[in-house]
Chains A and B, each alone.
Chain A
Amino acid sequence: MTAYIIRRFFHLIPTFLGATFLAFLIIQLAPGDFVTRLELDPSFNHAQIENLRRIYGLDQPFTVQYAKWLSGFLKGYLGVSLSYQTGVWEVLKPRMLNSMVLVVLSIIFIYSFSIPIGIYSALRQYSWGDRFWTTVAFIGMAIPNFFFALLMLYFALYLKDKFGHEIFPIGGMRSLYIAGMDFSAAPKWRQWLDILWHAVLPVIVAGTAGTAGLTRVMRTQMLENKMQDYVRTARAKGLAERVVVYKHILRNAIIPIVASIGFLLPDLFGGAGFVEVVMGWPGLTPMLLEALFSIDVYIIMGSISVTIVLLMIGNLLSDLLLAWVDPRIRYS
């Protein structure tokens, strides 16, 4: 097993080099650079624009830029953001932590709803309950995230009109005041409570599509295992239905779901997506969008490389988890 892990670890190196080089190349292939948008500003002349390119090192061939970036990365340094003129990690870190709040909560939301609903639907296939959850799941998968978020904002506004005060906040992550006190002056538990209160609607938005998808997977898995011979055997042995369902069917049905937990790792650090943009959650996505628009190469690369590393670790973790839950799989 240890040998296997070490071997896998060495495989990661070429993958990482290839992936980051490709990412760097694609950013370079897109027309323009960080300075391009200043070129259409009538108050700048050519010499000033070229001077900026020189200062930012954008006049060097891209292989040189990549080599410099890579040598920094190997020393644990993600480079300097062009627009912030400060270390990329300092820019990314607070945003990742903010995103993580949303991501962790929505993962909990996804698993705690989709697994029970999936089991319920499978055990009562084609019942009204199953049909209801199937419909909900399809709506959840079909509704675009950003639009759902906007609906939620207007829902919060509607609630505010209806009750005269805020039931849910209209966007954002923290209140300016908590009970008349400045946010940072309030006790820690109240600060966390305030953040959780702000997270309710974004988590629903961020979790809905995932819940819908996973519910369907869970349902299919359960149905598939229900038809297996060993289930009939278990029933024939006279086991209680509860034991048949939870000890035999569920344990086998849940294997792919457990195995996929490893893949959640990069998600944790990757931002919760457009819901952050629409609902004013100061996570990674809004900042990444800005970086993409302004072609702030090092912010983009920093975020991509962190995701790549986590994806590779997550992949490895998934394989190990699979071996752990499924005795039929052994690495040697």
Chain B
Amino acid sequence: MKRSIWILMVLALGAIALAQPKVFKSPNPGETPVFGGDFRDWSTDGPKTFNPFVAKETSSTDVMDLFLPTLTGYNPYTLEPEGNLAKSWEVKNKGLTIVFHLRKGAKWSDGQPITADDVIFSAKVHADKKVGSNYIKSFEIDGKPIVWSKIDDYTVQADFPKPFAPALIQSWYIVPKHVFEKAYKAGKVNEMWDVGADPAKIVSGGPFMLDKYVPGERVILKKNPNFWGVDEKGNKLPYLNRYIFTIVKDRNAALAKFLAGELDLYTASDADQIAQIVDRIDSKKLDATIFPNADVTTGTNFIFFNWNNKDQWKARLFRNKKFRVAMAYLMDKDSMIEIALGGLGKPQWSPISIPVKQFFTDDVVKYKYNPKKAAALLAELGFRKKNSAGVLVDASGRPLEFRLATNQGNNTRDKICQLFSEDAKKVGVNVKYAPIAFNELVREILNTRDFDAILIGLTGGIEPAFGRNVWELDGPLHMWNYGPDFESFEILIDKLMKQGATTLEQSKRREIYVRFQQVVAENLPLTYTVAPAYNPARLNKVGGLFAKDQITSIVGQYPYVETVFIKK
């Protein structure tokens, strides 16, 4: 009897020695972590599915992040590629081949090992056109497939059709093959793991596993005992017992919940919300901390003009750099921050978001608010006289006027547009501003092309190469000009984007993207306006969070959810 226990113990030790857990670095070595506890997060929408091949929005993927593994991701401290399920990798064949080594000993929550078969299977399903996964974009470059193959049980290889700089970021979800294979073969993979599925049957390979989903109300995830991560002292992670999403559709209602101490983290959206939180902290009703203006968000707001306008007069005008510079001189970014963003935010001059420090540069041409220079440039274009309505006219008497649109219901964009059109009217440019429905806006941009100017934003990410659909000449989002005539600077941008996506050396990549930002800022195919502030707040009982100077809007308030804990 005793002997068998000894044998078991030796076997167990052997298993631990063989295992290759990921070590999660805590942001605050001084803190002593506490095991147990519930983390209470919130979300405006509930998950639509727990199936990564179906998921189309963050309300679903925010939950999947907690229970489905990926090969690699960004290191939250350095923003460089970091292994998740992949322990290490080798770049071969001038960057055309990458071999990923998986962690031995990693297991799904049902006890099955996570192996190369799961990775290859998931890659196959994501890349399958009949499935319609959102991640299909990670499996082709210029329409050519990236080929994934199994070397052995713990080694996979990816072959790229051309060198691809972000090749090390493989952040698509990996699913257990033994659960999904049968459904996939029957052509029913999309019916798996819907919101009605029994949580006990949803297998996890991440730090948490699904415990319960109450539609429209909350998602409860509990600790996955089989998770393959440890802290720096070798303790099994995560620290938390449960991760709870409460679904609160209304931002103000979520704020009320945070003020009542019922949510652990909150991000204040404007100066008014900050004031309410500060007020409550000062009156000692809430033991919390807020960092107003800790960073700016990666979302961008920019104005662009339609160079393919059916009205040739307008098309020529919008294509003229002097005109776009004059319009940039009419954008009072300080007032925009004051009025549209409640005093919190930063002016933006170039396409790469300010928090993306490894590529961002401030060394670009800035056409700061200057109505006199704008008027002078417009005079050079022939707009010297004003008509009886106070609008500038050219030699033929045609008034300088155009329509400006943005999507309805976005307060910030609405105010930016109003400010711009008022400032433009002061120098005699008649900007006719009217917001329209988002889908109508998309239709005008992509299909009908009957707009003059539009203010819109695109979600910014860390990786500039993923913006190629905007910047390359044949990109579907080269929204200001679909050709066939391109200016020389557009061709230069196209070249820089292609170089940036295929250069592997980091310092050279930075040089390329700095040049890219300078060319865009100087020529203004898109004229950037202002970036909203990131104002994170937290209850003081939450540990494992970033200190103030470590916070970025990209990563958020903590580096890893695995090392977040609730102080006793």
Mark A residues whose CB is within 8 Å of B. 30-33, 36-49, 51-52, 55-56, 81, 83-86, 90-91, 94-95, 98, 150, 153-154, 156-157, 160-161, 166, 170-174, 176, 184, 277-280, 282-283, 286-287, 289-290, 294-295
Contact = CB atoms under 8 A, between A and B. Distances in A.
Given A31-B439, A40-B442, A170 B216 contact: no
B469 to A, nearest CB: 5
Contacts of B443: 31-32, 36
A86 B49 contact: yes
Contact of B216 (A157, A278, A279, A283): A283
Interface stretch (B2-10, B14-22, B246-254, B415-423): B246-254
B217 A282 contact: yes
B212 A184 contact: yes
Contact of A278 (B191, B250, B459): B250
A218 to B, nearest CB: 33
Contacts of B56: 38, 83
Contacts of A283: 216
A91 B438 contact: no
Nearest to B51: A85
22 contacts: A31-B437, A31-B439, A36-B439, A38-B56, A38-B134, A39-B476, A40-B442, A42-B477, A46-B476, A55-B131, A83-B57, A84-B195, A85-B49, A85-B191, A86-B194, A98-B217, A150-B253, A278-B249, A278-B250, A280-B217, A283-B216, A290-B45
Given A171-B256, A286-B216, A286-B249, A86 B476 contact: no
A170 B470 contact: no
B246 A280 contact: yes
B136 A48 contact: yes
Contacts of B477: 40, 42
Interface of B: 38, 45, 48-49, 51, 54, 56-57, 129-132, 134, 136-137, 143, 190-191, 194-196, 212, 214-218, 244, 246-250, 252-253, 256-257, 259-260, 262, 285, 437-440, 442-443, 445-446, 456, 458-459, 466-470, 476-477
A61 B131 CA distance: 22
B459 A47 contact: no
Contacts of B442: 31-32, 36-37, 39-40
A154 to B, nearest CB: 6
B450 to A, nearest CB: 13
Nearest to B215: A94
Contacts of A176: 38, 218, 244
A41 B129 CA distance: 18
Contact of A44 (B131, B215, B253, B469): B469
Contacts of B260: 157, 160, 166, 170
A42 B194 contact: no
Contact of A42 (B57, B445, B466): B466
Given A31-B437, A153-B253, A282 B247 contact: yes
A150 B252 contact: yes
A48 B196 CA distance: 28
Nearest to B138: A43
Contacts of B136: 48, 51
A77 B478 CA distance: 42
Given A31-B442, A280-B247, A294-B57, 18 more contacts: A31-B440, A32-B439, A39-B442, A40-B477, A42-B466, A42-B470, A44-B469, A46-B476, A55-B131, A56-B132, A83-B48, A83-B56, A83-B57, A85-B48, A85-B51, A94-B216, A150-B253, A278-B253
Contacts of B38: 176
Contact of A39 (B131, B191, B446): B446
A85 B256 contact: no
The 8 closest A-B pairs by CB, nearest first: A32-B439, A282-B216, A86-B194, A282-B217, A31-B440, A55-B132, A31-B439, A85-B54
B439 A295 contact: yes
Contact of B248 (A91, A157, A171): A171
B54 A45 contact: no
Given A83-B56, A176-B244, A40 B458 contact: yes
Given A86-B195, A90-B196, A170-B256, A37 B438 contact: yes
A84 B196 CA distance: 10
A273 to B, nearest CB: 13
Contacts of A38: 56, 134
Contact of A45 (B137, B191, B250, B467): B137
Contacts of A161: 285
A32 B440 contact: yes
B216 A98 contact: yes
B408 to A, nearest CB: 12
Contacts of B249: 277-278, 280, 286, 289
A246 B108 CA distance: 71
Name, among B130, B143, B191, B196, the residue most crowded by chain A CB atoms within 10 Å (CB to CB): B196
A84 to B, nearest CB: 5
Contact of A84 (B49, B132, B256, B445): B49
Most chain B CB atoms below 10 A, which of A33, A46, A95 = A46
Contacts of A31: 437, 439-440, 442-443
Contact of A282 (B190, B214, B256): B214
Contacts of A156: 256
A41 B65 CA distance: 20
Contacts of B134: 38
Nearest to B242: A176
Among A85, A90, A184, the one with the most B-chain Cβ atoms within 10 Å of its Cβ is A85
Nearest to A286: B249
Contacts of A94: 215-216
A242 B252 CA distance: 50
B257 A170 contact: yes
Q: Which of A47, A48, A283 has the most CB of B within 10 A?
A: A48
B466 A43 contact: yes
B476 A85 contact: no
A297 to B, nearest CB: 13
B320 to A, nearest CB: 26
B468 A42 contact: yes
Contact of B256 (A86, A90, A154, A174): A154
Contacts of B285: 161
B38 to A, nearest CB: 8
Contacts of A49: 476
Contacts of B476: 39, 44-46, 49
Among A32, A43, A295: residue with most chain B CB under 10 A = A43
A41 B442 CA distance: 11
Nearest to B258: A170
Nearest to B220: A176
A230 to B, nearest CB: 52
Contacts of A154: 256
- Residue among B212, B246, B249 with most chain A CB within 10 A: B249
A231 B194 CA distance: 64
Nearest to A35: B56
A42 B253 contact: no
Contact of B253 (A36, A85, A279, A295): A279
In this complex, the member of A95, A172, A279 whose beta carbon has the largest number of chain B beta carbons within 10 angstroms is A172
Contacts of B262: 170
A47 B196 contact: no
B439 A280 contact: no
Given A38-B56, A52-B132, A44 B439 contact: no
A30 B253 contact: no
Nearest to A289: B249
B143 A47 contact: yes
A270 B458 CA distance: 35
Contacts of B217: 98, 172-174, 280, 282
A71 B211 CA distance: 37
Nearest to B194: A86
Nearest to B142: A45
